[in-house]
Amino acid sequence: MKTYQTDQIKTIVLLGNSGSGKTLLGEAMLFSGGVIERRGTIEGKNTASDYRPIEHENGNSIFSTVLYTEYLNKKINILDTPGLDDFSGGVVSPLYAADSAVLLINVQNGVEVGTEIHYRHAEKVHKPMIMAVNGLDHEKANFEKTFEMLKERLSSNVILVQYPVNEGVGFNSIIDVLKMKMLRYGKDGGKAEVLDIPADQADRAAELHSALVEKAAESDEALMELFFSNDTLSEEEIRKGIAKGILTRGMFPVFCLSAKQNIGTDCLLEFIVNEAPSITDMPVPVNSKGQEVKPNPAGPASVYVFKSSIEEHIGEINYFRVYSGKITENLDVINTNNGTKERLSQLYVCAGKNRSRVPELHTGDIGAFVKLKNTKMDHTLNAPGNDWRYQGVIFPAPKYRTAIKAQSESDDEKLGEALNKIHLEDPTIIIEYSKELKQIIVHGQGEYHLNIMKWHLDNIYKIPTNFNAPKIPYRETITKAAQADYRHKKQSGGAGQFGEVHLIIEPYIDGSQELTMQKFGGKEIKLSVRGKDEIELDWGGKLIYCNCIVGGSIDARFMPAILKGIMEKMEVGPLTGSYARDIRVYVYDGKMHPVDSNEISFRLAGRNAFSIAFKNANPKILEPVYDVEIMVPSDRMGDVISDLQGRRGMVLGMSSEKRFEVIKARVPLAEMNKYSTALSSITGGRAMYTMKFAEYVQVPGDVQEAVIKAYTEEEEEE
Ligand SMILES: Nc1nc2c(ncn2[C@@H]2O[C@H](COP(=O)(O)OP(=O)(O)O)[C@@H](O)[C@H]2O)c(=O)[nH]1
Ligand SMILES: [Mg+2]
């Protein structure tokens, strides 16, 4: 294949609801550029983009795919994405690597949930966007209605570049109001025959042309002046205005397509080649030092890996974009993320699973490496002497969790390896080995997302697993002061053991005063703090350990052993075995034995004294609560709120955004199990939500009882 320079490269990402025709459009684009010789179909399971077993099984894209085509002497990198919200990881990384998006709209349905979700993903990262109404050959096609929905539900900046003359069965003609021509397609689509606009379309075409000219003029002051003095603009001027308007998202031009019949693909490709932004038009990426990395074709080589995948017979493939300079085969580079050296022994460009070897790639281009040892998704590679690192893809936070276990213990190690690979290919699947919960917790975007992961474990990795209810990481703390003594004494054979500890514990709040005196059962205990350890607990909160020993009743050398004993109980709280937090301990007295006292004795005495005091200090269970933000269509708000209340949720606020209501609430994690599935059924899949850990709060009395009961029963079973 020919080598393309920076100004000959465009990179687009295909967005749109599942079923809007992204994969089929990708196929038509590859075919139009001669990259493939035959157009595959979704039903035939032979498209370049949907090549993985799970995609054949489901008839749907699950992962993003890197494709390219060659058109009018330019290379267009095409990143196909999955349409379902559960797979949004496969949307955000291609969006990062692309300079503009093509949003497909299925003309039977108009704006769908996934259309809005993808629109918002692109909006968040300010990507320019072209829209294409697809499926115009379908008997239920309704272009007018679809365009109205685009205006009303997405943006008032949508503007028609084309409209269909004869949508529905037999569709073959489009009026292009930029070119002011009619485009007519033959039976196999492909290249249009360019005709004059027929008389019966002249008025409508002229009206839409004016609207387009006006919108194009708005994006540039010089053009606006020209427009005012001449009352119109030339095609070249309009194109210039559109290109500028797209760049600032002041304009979303709308095209017509039948991906299935390959109608309209030629015009869309031509438009991308000429008007879509390239890397040099876009805001300059910033590296980790806050410096801008100019996409300079003559600069030092620098690439960012935006996607990793594992392919049959090959192993790991890393897809990257060149952000500066050019890379050539056998170039030595440094991985800035881990400092290792890599040699780029083989460079490829990819059209799905088909790869072609290339000798070099220039700034703005996308390619793939195989066989790199220490490089993966989100890493930056630089020519020696440079330590740039890009800010990188920001993945959506997880919002669905389950516990997973191999059916056979002998598969445990294999399961760990498989989960690592799954995470590499899909960073929105996060694996947590929770020592605390004694579970492997898998976090993802939704129930379907994790079921697809399980499908891979079953069918590709051949590891039978079960999903179990994930436990909740409760915490324990105390709500009043308590005192306890404990004597550990053992005198059977050999050396004896002796240690006695007297301590007081109280709830700790940052900045609170230390006790100086405390009464227990009419007895006054004076406390004067001589030494203090402030321990930031790994699991959140603090333990403050105060040494108040007077008169040498316990040797200073035993104090660390007592703390060790206390920490053992902090790690396995006395109520439910959960981590304890936010406690201040005063060790103020005790006894030693001249021969038998040793570290073990004091560790055990400290542990037991602490445990007794804890139980008398009105202990409470804390649970994690999450900030949940839900976007719901207005007509479903009431249902969503009453469901939240049933989940012990507290609604903190509501606001309106376009046709959506945004609900902010705090909900205990324990009540969020399978929330995405429930929300989807309440709203017909039209809602979106995010969740983020907020804080630990005390559980209500009835919940505390239930949690302790469940723990006790579980302990008895073991
Ligand atoms: N009639 C018609 N069907 C289409 C068109 N584009 C896609 N389809 C069908 O719609 C379904 C989904 O297409 P696909 O490309 O997988 O959509 P994606 O989920 O957006 O990638 C498939 O059955 C396609 O054959 C089109 O232009 N016309
Ligand atoms: Mg697809």
d(CA 600, CA 234): 90
Side-chain-side CA neighbours of 111 within 13 Å: the count stands at 20
User: What is the amino acid identity at position 334?
Assistant: I
Instruction: Select from 347, 155, 137 the least CA-distant residue to 251.
Output: 155
d(CA 546, CA 544): 6
What are the structure tokens assigned to 189, written together? 């689509």
d(CA 21, CA 49): 12
Q: pLDDT means per 10 residues in the chain (718 residues)?
A: 94 97 98 96 94 92 96 98 94 97 97 91 96 97 97 95 97 97 97 97 97 95 92 93 96 98 98 97 84 90 96 92 96 95 94 94 96 93 91 93 96 96 97 93 96 96 96 95 95 84 96 91 91 94 96 94 97 91 97 92 96 96 96 90 96 85 95 92 87 95 92 82
DSSP class of 152? I
Quick one: pLDDT at residue 175?
98
Q: pLDDT (tens digit, 9 = 90+) per residue, 441-486?
A: 999 999 999 999 999 999 999 999 999 999 999 999 999 999 999 9
212 CA distance to ligand 2 middle (Å): 31
Quick one: pLDDT at residue 659?
67
E-only strand ranges, 363-481: 366-370, 380-382, 400-406, 430-434, 439-444, 465-468, 475-477
Instruction: Select from 13, 217, 15 the least CA-distant residue to 104.
Output: 15
Adjacent-strand bridge partners of 583: 507, 543
Q: Which are the contacts of 230, defined by CB distance < 8 A and separation ≥ 6?
A: none
d(CA 481, CA 667): 30
Instruction: Select from 547, 99, 119 the least CA-distant residue to 285.
Output: 99
d(CA 501, CA 566): 11
Protein residue whose Cα sits closest to atom 7 of ligand 1: 21
Of ligand 1's atoms, which has the minimum distance to the CA of residue 25?
Answer: 15
Protein residue whose Cα sits closest to atom 14 of ligand 1: 21
Whole-angstrom CA distances from 299 to 305, 385, 438 are 18, 12, 51
116 CA distance to ligand 2 middle (Å): 17
Q: Spell out a b/e string for 265-278, using b for 16 or more CB atoms within 10 Å of the CB, else e.
A: bbbbbebbbebbbb
25 CA distance to ligand 1 middle (Å): 8
H or E element in which residue 712 lies = helix 701-717
Which pTM was predicted?
0.89
Residues in contact with ligand 1 by the CB-under-6-Å rule are 16, 18-24, 41-42, 60-61, 83, 134-135, 137-138, 258-260
427 CA distance to ligand 2 middle (Å): 19
* Angle formed at CA 447 by CA 23 and CA 659, multiple of 5 degrees: 70
Q: Which are the contacts of 716, defined by CB distance < 8 A and separation ≥ 6?
A: none
User: What is the amino acid identity at position 241?
Assistant: G
Mapping DSSP onto H, E and C, the string for 464-515 reads CEEEECCCCCCEEECCCCEEEEEEEEECCCCCCEEEEEEEEEEECCCCCCCC
H or E element in which residue 305 lies = strand 302-311
d(CA 127, CA 474): 42
Q: pLDDT (tens digit, 9 = 90+) per residue, 141-187?
A: 999 999 999 999 899 999 999 999 999 999 999 999 999 999 999 99
Protein residue whose Cα sits closest to atom 2 of ligand 1: 135
Of ligand 1's atoms, which has the minimum distance to the CA of residue 83?
Answer: 19
SS3 134: strand
H or E element in which residue 523 lies = strand 523-526
Backbone φ, ψ for residue 307 (5° rounding): -160, 140
Quick one: pLDDT at residue 287?
81
The environment of the single-atom ion ligand 2, i.e. residues with CB closer than 5 A, is 22-23, 61
Protein residue whose Cα sits closest to atom 6 of ligand 1: 21
What are the structure tokens assigned to 12, written together? 């687009």
DSSP class of 281? G
DSSP class of 375? -
Instruction: Select from 69, 94, 70, 72 the least CA-distant residue to 81.
Output: 94
Whole-angstrom CA distances from 346 to 359, 367, 368, 376 are 8, 10, 9, 16
DSSP class of 670? G
Quick one: pLDDT at residue 231?
87
Quick one: pLDDT at residue 289?
79
Give the DSSP per-residue string, 16-79.
ESTTSSHHHHHHHHHHHTTSSSS---TTTT--SS--SHHHHHHTS--S-EEEEEEETTEEEEEE
Of ligand 1's atoms, which has the minimum distance to the CA of residue 257?
Answer: 27
258 CA distance to ligand 1 middle (Å): 9
H or E element in which residue 533 lies = strand 531-536
Q: Which are the contacts of 20, defined by CB distance < 8 A and separation ≥ 6?
A: 83, 104, 105, 106, 112, 114, 115, 134, 135
**Backbone dihedral region of 137: left (phi > 0), alpha (psi from -120 to 50 degrees) or beta?**
alpha
Quick one: pLDDT at residue 522?
86
Compute the Cα dihedral for 540, 337, 453, 640 and give only its sign: positive
User: What is the amino acid identity at position 87?
Assistant: F
Tell me if 256 sits within 8 A of 271, measured CB to CB.
no
Compute the Cα dihedral for 459, 464, 465, 466 and give only its sign: positive
d(CA 181, CA 169): 22
Quick one: pLDDT at residue 284?
87
H or E element in which residue 317 lies = strand 315-324
Residue with structure tokens 């108040």?
548
Quick one: pLDDT at residue 657?
76
d(CA 428, CA 97): 17
User: What is the amino acid identity at position 616?
Assistant: N
Quick one: pLDDT at residue 709?
92
Protein residue whose Cα sits closest to atom 25 of ligand 1: 42
User: What is the amino acid identity at position 716?
Assistant: E
24 CA distance to ligand 1 middle (Å): 6
Tell me if 687 sits within 8 A of 628, measured CB to CB.
no
Tell me if 175 sits within 8 A of 165, measured CB to CB.
yes
Q: Where are the alpha helices (DSSP H) in 131-177?
A: 143-149
